[in-house]
């Protein structure tokens, strides 16, 4: 309990009461209703499509939010720009936490070569180049960063229901040289269907 003293009141009997249960419930409902509306208006920042082909998954990732302005301004400078897509595949369990079946990182990168006037685009899955191309168009290079080509992942056979989680990381830095800060999307989760 907090004791509140008013000016001119020298007694300590004036108390500040915490809000009642009804007030807390009303506040909670207000927060949930506004948070849900904001999530519905913005939509998913990352679109994930998964197709199962035997033991493999074909995964397509599309970033639906625009790339940051500093990244777009640095595109013709020759700096290497990249968007990291973190992907996890988990198997559903009934009693304990879900089993992690596969975890990887897809990096879509673009570099402008000023001598040739072309953009070199690469898609790297766990340090292995899975797709690459060159293009003279800056629009195609931006498209490569926000929607890299589909990639395949071979998984061990399982009868579990699979869930895929993905997020896009646009930049990683530190705050006060110690605390990591990540500029990216939130995790998007998709249940993998049979085919």
Question: Residues 120-148: pLDDT tens digits?
Answer: 999 999 999 999 999 999 999 999 999 99
CB 98 within 8 A of CB 91: yes
Rounded distance, CA 34 to CA 6, Å?
Answer: 36
> Residue 63's pLDDT is what?
92
Q: Is residue 122 part of a domain?
A: yes
Q: Is residue 20 part of a domain?
A: no
User: Which residues constitute the domain of residue 54?
Assistant: 44-191
> Residue 146's pLDDT is what?
93
Instruction: Tell the burial category of 31 from Cβ atoms under 10 Å away from its Cβ (0-12, 13-18, 19+).
Output: exposed
Q: Is residue 132 part of a domain?
A: yes
Taking the whole predicted model, whether its pTM rises above 0.75 is answered as no
Q: Is residue 125 part of a domain?
A: yes
Domain count, the chain: 1
Range with the lowest mean pLDDT among 21-25, 32-36, 71-75, 76-80?
Answer: 32-36
> Residue 27's pLDDT is what?
40
Mean pLDDT of all residues in the chain?
78
Q: Is residue 116 part of a domain?
A: yes
């Amino acid at each position: 309990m907090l004791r509140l003293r008013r000016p001119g009141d020298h007694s300590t009997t004036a108390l500040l009461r915490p809000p009642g249960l009804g007030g807390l419930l009303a506040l909670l409902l207000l927060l949930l209703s506004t948070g849900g509306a904001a999530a519905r208006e913005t939509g998913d920042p990352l679109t994930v499509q998964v197709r199962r082909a035997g033991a493999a998954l074909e995964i397509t990732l599309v970033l639906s939010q625009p790339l940051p302005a500093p990244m777009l301004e640095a595109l013709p400078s020759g700096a290497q720009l990249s968007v990291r897509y973190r992907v996890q595949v988990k198997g559903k369990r009934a009693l304990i936490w879900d089993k992690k079946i596969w975890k990887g990182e897809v990096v879509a990168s673009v570099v402008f070569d000023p001598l040739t006037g072309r953009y070199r685009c690469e898609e790297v899955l766990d340090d292995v180049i899975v797709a690459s191309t060159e293009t003279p168009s800056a629009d195609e290079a931006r498209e490569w960063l926000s929607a890299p080509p589909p990639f395949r992942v071979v998984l061990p056979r399982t009868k579990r229901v699979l869930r895929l989680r993905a997020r896009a990381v646009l930049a990683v830095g530190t705050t006060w040289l110690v605390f990591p800060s990540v500029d990216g999307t939130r995790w998007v989760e998709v249940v993998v269907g049979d085919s």
